[in-house]
Amino acid sequence: MNLIAHLSHTDLDGYAAQYITRKVSELCGIPALFENTNYGDEILTQFDSLVGRVIDSAPQGPVMFLVTDVNLTVEQCEYFDRQARYLSDAVGHEVRLMLLDHHITGEEAAARFTWYRLDVDACATLLTYRSWEPAIEDNTAACQYLGYVADVVNAVDLWREDDELFEAGNLLSELFSGIDGYVPEVMSELRRDYRHFLIGEVTQLLFSGASLDDVEDMLPVIRRQFIKQYPGLNEESREIMESPDMTTSKKYYWLVYQNLAADLEKGRYQVVEVDGLKGLVLHQLPYGAFQCASHWLLRNDHGLDFVLQSTVRGNLSLRSIGDTDVSALSKRYFNGGGHKNAAGGRLPTREQIRNPEHAHRLVLKALGLKAA
């Protein structure tokens, strides 16, 4: 096996299953790619995204395509089957597809597809550990630790309150529900790295004998450790991460800004142009992250005159600096207004806005512009 591609759910069990794979890939020296998905149409979109990344990586040998904690319909399984064959032809190597699921609603699909492995008595993280255990069985310490991680997640995911590890799993679960203010959902890679890091740091402390109180006391330190060790930071960012004069939350917002700036440079965001102004459309960032990231995007010469953000319900926030009047822009196109450099408005839609691409299309429509 020369590459692991792992698609998983967006909850604790889904990310913890990927954490197991990440540690095994490091121990075995096998590169791994990750994507996460919720249910519905997003499953096929994220699967195709991971297929594309596998092709781009040009693996030199067999590929393991692992799917965990995602309950597929028969039609989705048929699509996965076709894509696995296509991927095998595209990379010129065998592609092994395996799905590890524990939802009873997967019975029909599991009965029809040999690669769909269903076990309703274990969570996806425990199933993932069991599938990788033979690859690391000679490393006793790794097996003990990763087995512990799987048991912790299993206790809370199957809600076994009598299990001695239940409260440890519950702590992890609560941490996941409270981190969205630091790392927004749309920053999928940053969010995934942060969650894997959090799982690792917390479980290593607990495995070493720390109490739940000890771990809770350590959480601010753990959050700072993540941003200090984050890879690929330039000298300016490194100085900011080390600064004692900036709060932890603002350092995370700087990482959000850095990711936005990189995506903008790579063309992953399309700039809108209206009334001689250039703007960037964002979607569903936490308020603090939007405030800080938009200011840095405007101040640091990214060729933007304004930044606009939508919420799921279509409410808009607009920001600018200097002479650019976003209140006039909002009044003209978005039935809004406010201050010269900070205004609000609303998109004329009853749709729930799903993602940045959807927001971009609706903004173009409100501006009377056609999509490229």
Say if strands 315-320 and 342-346 run parallel, antiparallel, or are unpaired: antiparallel
CATH of 270-367, one of 3.10.310, 1.10.3470, 2.40.10, 2.60.120: 3.10.310
Per-residue pLDDT of the chain (372 residues; tens, 9 = 90+): 899 999 999 999 999 999 999 999 999 999 999 999 998 888 999 999 999 999 998 888 899 999 999 999 999 999 999 999 988 888 888 999 999 999 999 999 999 999 999 999 999 999 999 999 999 999 999 999 999 999 999 999 999 999 999 999 999 998 877 655 677 776 788 889 999 999 999 999 999 999 999 999 999 899 889 988 888 788 888 898 889 999 988 998 999 999 899 889 888 888 999 999 999 999 988 888 999 999 999 999 899 999 999 999 999 999 999 999 999 999 999 999 999 999 999 998 888 888 888 999 999 999 998 766
Sheet containing 32-36: give its strands across: 32-36, 3-8, 63-68, 95-101, 116-118
Distance CA 165, CA 154 (A): 9
CATH code at 3-155:
3.40.50
Length of the chain equals: 372
Distance CA 197, CA 217 (A): 17
Q: What is the model's pTM?
A: 0.86
Q: Are 254 and 237 in contact (CB under 8 A)?
A: yes
Domain boundaries, the chain: 3-155, 178-268, 270-367
